[in-house]
Homo-oligomer: A and B are copies of this chain.
Amino acid sequence: MSGNSFGTLFKITTWGESHGEALGVVIDGCPPGIELSNENIQKDLDQRRPGQGKGSSPRKERDRVEILSGIFEGKTTGTPISLMIRNEDVDSSPYEEWREVFRPGQADFTYLAKYGIRDYRGGGRASARETAGRVAAGAVAKRILEREKVEITGYTVEIGGIRAERVDYSEIQRNALRCPDRNAAMAMEKKIEEVKLQGDSLGGVVEVLVRGCPPGLGEPVFDKLEADLTKGLMSIGAIRGVEIGAGFRVARMLGSQCNDPIGP
């Protein structure tokens, strides 16, 4: 109940602090018979890893995943899949200076208010590094989605006010910002460097496209698919808004413009 689990049938529980021994995730409810290897997960962890492009945190770490349970002869067995990533760059001495002060925009004050204890080393559990567990679990989920022919693509559509003007899916994997518009990507990288020199940071907008989603997924009232997806997104550190479909533009549409026509 302490909020470290997500999902019901495919339930994940993440654990681990930014500067602790390790971090990871336990997946409970993965169907049996899915082929799963370290590489399937490592690939996504490598993409998550900071220190790749100019737009991200300078932390350097290999983030090697280890599958500790749930796999037999290369396939899932239906038992819990435990995934672990050892922390390597755990020198918390740079954070010693934060022992007595709070950093703005961090969760440290709230943690202290709630738990009466504070892990000042790199954000502890509130660090963006917590998402490594989510990404690892997501890589397993993707194996199931592949089987069901559901495709998910995420990409950056805006950073620092610079918007992608076109969506070229083949471009996404070619630049470190995963922006589908090459020119926009270059302008974004340039702006990031400028702002970084001023000791500041930028915001942005990300778009996620799901193809092949079967009708009837999700539950009718509180656990609507949109509601669950939105909760998942909103639980990621810096996210402040989520739109589904036409999103806030619906507010200025007429009903007749907004309704999906029903075809045969």
Contact = CB atoms under 8 A, between A and B. Distances in A.
Interface of A: 1-6, 8-9, 11, 13-17, 20-24, 26, 28-29, 32-33, 66-72, 75, 77-82, 84, 102, 104-105, 107, 109-111, 113-117, 119, 121, 124-126, 130, 158, 160-161, 195, 200-205, 215-216, 218-224, 226-228, 230-232, 234-235, 238, 240-248, 250-256, 258-262
Contact of A205 (B82, B234, B248): B248
B240 A246 contact: yes
Given A1-B9, A4-B79, A222-B235, 14 more contacts: A1-B219, A2-B78, A3-B223, A5-B11, A16-B80, A77-B115, A79-B124, A104-B259, A104-B262, A105-B258, A110-B216, A202-B254, A227-B235, A248-B248
A154 to B, nearest CB: 16
A200 B3 contact: no
Copies in the complex: 4
B255 A69 contact: no
A102 B258 CA distance: 16
A184 to B, nearest CB: 14
A231 B151 CA distance: 23
Given A109-B262, A115-B78, A125-B79, A22 B244 contact: no
B13 A28 contact: yes
Contacts of A253: 203
Contacts of A160: 252
Contacts of A158: 251
A158 B252 CA distance: 9
A69 B22 contact: yes
B262 A102 contact: yes
A118 B107 CA distance: 42
Contacts of A125: 77, 79, 220-221
Contacts of A13: 5, 13, 26, 28, 80
B66 A21 contact: yes
Contact of A124 (B8, B23, B72): B72
A99 to B, nearest CB: 11
A113 B241 contact: no
B221 A33 contact: no
A123 B241 CA distance: 29
Given A15-B68, A109-B215, A262-B102, A241 B247 contact: yes
A102 B126 CA distance: 46
A14 B221 CA distance: 9
